[in-house]
Amino acid sequence: MSKQGESELFTIGHSTHTVDYFIDLLKKHSITAVCDVRSHPYSKYNPQFNREVLKEELKRNNIAYVFLGKELGARSENPNCYIDGRVQYNYLVDEPSFQQGIIRLKKGMKQYSIALMCAEKDPITCHRTILVCREMRSHTKQIKHILANGEIETNLEAEERLLTTLGIVPDMFKNKNECIEEAYDKQGQKIAYVEEEKQVTTG
């Protein structure tokens, strides 16, 4: 399924890093463009990663920035993508805007070494992995997650960790690949965005 000749795709979470440390992580792995997939590209507690501030800092370091949060973010403006106020990744992935975002990402990968960026420190608790990278597995030869300590976790390793975290193991009824897809589905439901009014009514 891998497309030979396509670039590797990286991901990174800005977490509570300083901008300097964040940029050092990018440079360590030769990233030349950041694709921001946050639906809301602002942070109350980490304003150094607000969209305009980050874009300018990256520009100073010769790293391109593109915002694809509307296309590849974890939220949707389409009410049909929600059930009881919770966004459904399996609906979101079929949205024309999401697929357009994937097309833009694939085109960009031909010119840049791209890191998908969101806020979460751990890739398996973030939609950049559970939603976007799940879709991108068939479009790139390898996906690598840049961890907070600068080390790399491949997407295959992340999937193994996800299986362990959720306690999902192959058996006579489910093979390894089926277990991985089940893990993506379960984690997607666990981390999916819930509309605020639904959060209030459900406690």
Please report which confidence band the pLDDT of residue 141 belongs to, taking 50, 70 and 90 as the band edges: confident
Other Cβ atoms less than 10 A from the Cβ of 37: the count is 27
Q: Is the pLDDT of residue 200 over 50?
A: no
Q: Is the pLDDT of residue 129 over 90?
A: yes
Tally helices (H) and strands (E) across the chain.
Answer: 10, 8
Q: Is the pLDDT of residue 70 over 80?
A: yes
Q: Is the pLDDT of residue 5 over 80?
A: no
pTM (2 d.p.): 0.92
DSSP β-bridge partners for residue 145: 11, 153
Residue pLDDT, tens place only, 142-166:
999 999 999 999 999 999 999 999 9
Tokens of 135: 């879709």
Q: CA distances (Å), 143 to each of 43, 88, 92, 157, in order? A: 26, 23, 21, 10
DSSP β-bridge partners for residue 146: 12, 152
User: Which fold, 9-202?
Assistant: Protein-Tyrosine Phosphatase; Chain A (3.90.190)
What residues does each domain of the chain span?
9-202
Which positions ≥6 away from 195 have C-beta within 8 Å? 82, 85, 86
Residue pLDDT, tens place only, 73-112:
999 999 999 999 999 999 999 999 999 999 999 999 999 9
**pLDDT-above-70 percentage for the chain:** 94
Using DSSP, state whether 180 is helix, strand or coil: helix
Tokens of 64: 């391109």
- Spell out where the chain has E strands: 9-13, 33-36, 64-67, 82-83, 86-87, 114-118, 143-146, 152-154
Cα 179–chain centre separation: 20
**pLDDT-above-90 percentage for the chain:** 91
Q: Is the pLDDT of residue 29 over 50?
A: yes
DSSP β-bridge partners for residue 9: 143
Average pLDDT over residues 168-190: 96
Q: Is the pLDDT of residue 196 over 80?
A: no
Using DSSP, state whether 13 is helix, strand or coil: strand
